[in-house]
């Protein structure tokens, strides 16, 4: 570890931790060193004494801190949860189904950090290209928190029509601007005003409602989003004085299950119980008839069983199943750099195809990459060969 005693002191002070705590975090490997290009940084792999997972400390002269994006708690019932949690008005925003990114400028360089606190080369390059980030010259103490969405991404490949850019389906929407060292959010209105001023894309409110009647309006919004195949909502206090909470659609619960049960021995257990519970409470709260409840049950059952059997079939036919995603890179070098990053993230990948494509911005590289779930593949083979369930 290259951190000097002086640096350690300053980091402890900034994070409001003792040196003893910091050393403990190092020892437990909660605090780890990593680097992106020449820039070394420390990274919290887990939450520790009030410091969020994904918090990063740049090992530069300033020891710039970027706090991790806090967990968003989930409402299981709309009533009385919203009424109990909020103060007065509630801003209803759409919850986008992509991956969380924090954009910061440190020592004149732009970085895009993933939720777990890695500087992602793919995302860093994309945001530098898509966005004019002058805002971070004027407000260097801020981080832009947003969702990267679209089919052509390596983490949550999910199609959004608004993210279509011709040769690439990828977009970014800011949903929060925070002071990066304290994690304090700007009020919703101020965030939107700044985004307007700097011409940055942001998530617009679907409605602003009174907390007393919010459950009725949110239910209507959820039913509409459900029909449109969208993920759900995040509810916020206009001043961000209390933490936001999320609520998702039936459609999303089923989509989550479908993707998890495609790789069921890797992801099934972690996904199933919480999704089924969400559906149970939704069915109760929406006062469904038996007929409606049976439709929900059928959707749930199909979301679990159909992808599972499809996977078993594929493996039985000799295929190794993988989760495929297609990414667009500006150069061979960018592609190589990202491959190195994925391997560092311990992603087991299989490059299925690489080709050059002509776009209105010149020649680019399109790569089809498969993420391998070994456990699912291996266990299916073993049960097909007669292994007993323990």
Q: Contact positions toward ligand ATP, by CB under 6 A? A: 69, 71-72, 93-96, 100, 147, 175, 203, 234, 244, 246
3-state secondary structure of 123: helix
Q: How far is the CB of 3 from ligand ATP (least distance, A)?
A: 28
CB closer to ligand ATP, 64 vs 93: 93
Q: Would you say 102 or 366 has its CB closer to ligand ATP?
A: 102
Rounded Cα distance between 272 and 106, Å, is 40
For the bound state, the minimum distance from the C-beta of residue 158 to ligand ATP, rounded and expressed in Å, comes to 11
Dihedrals φ, ψ of 345, to 5°?
-75, 0
Whose Cβ is closer to ligand ATP: residue 83's or residue 246's?
Answer: 246
Min separation Cβ 246 and ligand ATP, Å: 5
Contacts 24+ apart (CB under 8 A), 163-170: 166/359, 166/360, 167/328, 167/357, 167/359, 167/360, 167/364, 167/366, 168/328, 170/126, 170/328
Backbone angles phi, psi at 375, to 5 degrees: -60, -50
Biggest CA pair distance of the chain:
67
Q: Are 152 and 328 in contact (CB under 8 A)?
A: yes
Q: Which is nearer to ligand ATP, 100 or 262 (CB)?
A: 100
- Considering the complex, what minimum distance in angstroms separates the CB of residue 366 from ligand ATP? 26
The nearer residue to ligand ATP, 180 or 366, going by C-beta atoms, is: 180
Judged on CB neighbours under 10 Å (0-12, 13-18, 19+), 244 is buried
Q: With respect to ligand ATP, which residue has the nearer C-beta, 195 or 234?
A: 234
Q: To the nearest whole angstrom, how small is the minimum distance from the Cβ of residue 384 to ligand ATP?
A: 33
Scanning the structure block, which residue is given the tokens 């297609």? 326
Classify strands 56-58 and 39-44 as parallel, antiparallel or unpaired: antiparallel
- Please identify the residue of the shown chain whose CB is closest to the bound ligand ATP: 100
CB of 97 to ligand ATP, least distance (A): 7
């Amino acid at each position: 570890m290259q951190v000097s005693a002086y640096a350690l002191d300053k980091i402890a002070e900034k994070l409001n931790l003792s040196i003893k705590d910091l050393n403990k975090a190092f020892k437990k490997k909660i605090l780890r060193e990593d680097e992106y290009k020449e820039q070394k940084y420390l990274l919290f792999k887990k939450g520790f004494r009030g410091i969020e997972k994904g918090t990063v400390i740049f090992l530069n002269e300033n020891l710039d801190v970027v706090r991790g994006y806090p967990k968003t708690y989930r409402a299981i019932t709309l009533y009385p949860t919203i009424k109990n949690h909020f103060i007065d008005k509630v801003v209803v925003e759409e919850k986008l189904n992509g991956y969380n990114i924090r954009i910061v400028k440190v020592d004149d360089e732009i970085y895009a950090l993933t939720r777990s606190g890695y500087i992602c080369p793919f995302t860093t390059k994309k945001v530098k290209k898509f966005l004019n980030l002058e805002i971070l010259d004027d407000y260097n103490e801020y981080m832009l928190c947003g969702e990267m969405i679209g089919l052509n991404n390596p983490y949550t490949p999910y199609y959004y029509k608004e993210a279509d850019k011709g040769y690439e389906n990828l977009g970014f929407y800011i949903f929060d601007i925070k002071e990066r060292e304290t994690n304090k959010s700007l009020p919703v209105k101020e965030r939107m005003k700044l985004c307007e001023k700097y011409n940055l894309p942001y998530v617009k409110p679907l409605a602003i409602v009174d907390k007393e009647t919010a459950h009725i309006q949110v239910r209507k919004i959820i039913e509409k989003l459900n029909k449109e195949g969208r993920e759900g909502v995040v509810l916020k206090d206009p001043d961000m004085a209390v933490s936001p909470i999320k609520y998702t659609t039936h459609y999303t619960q089923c989509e989550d299950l479908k993707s998890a049960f495609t790789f069921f021995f890797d992801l099934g257990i972690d996904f199933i119980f919480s999704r089924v519970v969400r559906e149970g409470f939704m069915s109760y709260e929406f006062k469904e008839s038996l007929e409606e409840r049976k439709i929900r049950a059928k959707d749930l059952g199909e979301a679990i069983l159909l992808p599972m059997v499809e996977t078993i079939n594929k493996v039985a036919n000799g295929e190794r199943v993988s989760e495929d995603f297609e990414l667009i890179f500006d150069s061979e070098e960018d592609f190589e750099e990202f491959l190195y990053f994925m391997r560092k993230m311990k992603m087991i990948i299989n490059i299925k195809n690489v080709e050059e494509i002509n776009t209105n911005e010149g020649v680019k590289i399109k790569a089809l990459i498969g993420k391998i779930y070994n456990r699912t593949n291996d266990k299916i083979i073993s049960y097909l060969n007669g292994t007993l369930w323990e």
